[in-house]
Structure formats: C-alpha cells, structure tokens
Homo-oligomer: A and B are copies of this chain.
Amino acid sequence: MQTDCRNCPFKTKATSMLSECSLDQLSSNHLELKLKKGDSIIKQGTYSTNVVFLRTGLAKIHIAGPYTEQIVKMVNAPSYLGLPTTFGSKINQYSVTAVSDAEVCFIDLEVFQNILDENKEFTREIIQEFCKNELESFHRCANRTQKLIRGNMADAILDFADKIFKSDSFVLPLSQVEFANLVDTSRESVSRVLAEFDKDGIIKVNGRQIDILNKKSLVLVSQNG
C-alpha cells in the first residue's frame, strides 16, 4: 500500500525538511504496513536493504548478547529505524520489534540514500539524530554499569514517563522479563524492586499499570540507588 508522503501527519523533524520532489520520490517508493504488538520489524541476522520509518507505535531495539537477549533502547514514533544496521552492514546486527500496534513504512536503502544526497537539511537532521543517539548510548552505558538495580529501574521508569508516554501514569509495554533485559537484571529483581518502590510509596503498581506518586523520590533513587 502506498500513501502520499506529502500529507503524512507523522513526519519527523528531518522529514519535514524534505523537498516536494523528494517526498514524491518517497511516496512512490515505500511500502506501508500495519503491525500488531509483538510483530517483528527488523530481525537480527537477516539480510537488510530497507530503512524503516516508524509512523505510529512503540518499538524495542534488541540484540542477542552472549547469554541473553538485551533490549538496547525503546523507540517511539515518529522515528527512523535500522539506519545503523542497514547502512553499516549487509546483515542486520540487531532486531526491532513492535511492543504496541504500529504502522511502519519500508523505504528502499537506495531511495533513502538518494534523498540524503539531495537534501542538505534532511541530512543535517539525520546526523543530529546520530549524534544524539551516540551521546545517549555513552550515558546509558556508564549509568547501567555503575548504578545499582534500584537506580537503573528508577531511570527506566522515568524514561518511560518522560520520553515515551509523556505522562506519570502508563501501562508498562514490557513483561518483567523484558524489563529485566532492558535494565540488565534478573526477572526476579524486577519483581522485587517494583514491589519495594510500591511499598515505599514512590510508585503505585497494579499489574503493568504504573503510576508515579512521588517523582522527586524516584529521581533521588535514580541518582543514588
């Protein structure tokens, strides 16, 4: 299915920089797909020739570590997915999976490259994005390895609230196993710490429904443990 990209209401900042001409090129060279929660978007180990545009929905980027699957980051729409894997390597180096219902557009790599070549502003924004990601990954790495579990879990919850859902009440889009893979812990520890936070009145846990009751405390835990 193809739609007119010019009128797409889900443009990223980068995409809004594109010329009409490039948008038309996109329109006639992309495949739009509706996905259900759990559907695979990019699969580690498979051949890759597409950049993916996440139009709506929420996805996880995950990678097979030496022992367990690790969730590298959560991404919400609108956003481009798979640039590193598609540009940097013929074979996908990580997986992306929808954790909510989602809409995606598959864009041929050559078309995307062409659009990069023809749109300086677009390229600038994409590079900005790369820079932001690299900085984030530096910070994430330093935090994850130095902080204790409580701190990392607090971080993750704050991230969901502030970056993903923009609300202090949300339902966790991950199982505890997945949450553990995101925070680098065991499933059991996730369960325990969540219960602790609840007992301490920092958050209210009801199944996967999370309500942040005391954000200051949560930030403190994030900083100190």
Contact = CB atoms under 8 A, between A and B. Distances in A.
Interface of A: 61, 63-68, 70, 72, 83-85, 87-89, 93-94, 113, 116-117, 120, 123-124, 126-128, 130-135, 137-147, 151, 184, 223
A85 B137 CA distance: 12
**Majority-rule SS of A interface residues:** helix
B128 A127 contact: no
Given A87-B127, A87-B128, A127-B126, A65 B134 contact: no
This protein's copies in its complex = 2
Interface centre among A68, A84, A94 (most CB of B within 10 A): A84
Contact of A89 (B70, B135, B142, B151): B135
Given A88-B131, A128-B88, A139 B67 contact: no
Given A127-B130, A134-B133, A223 B66 contact: yes
B84 A131 contact: yes
Contacts of A124: 113, 116
Given A130-B130, A137-B141, A138-B93, A65 B123 contact: no
Given A131-B83, A137-B137, A66 B147 contact: yes
A147 B72 CA distance: 16
Nearest to A61: B138
A72 B64 CA distance: 21
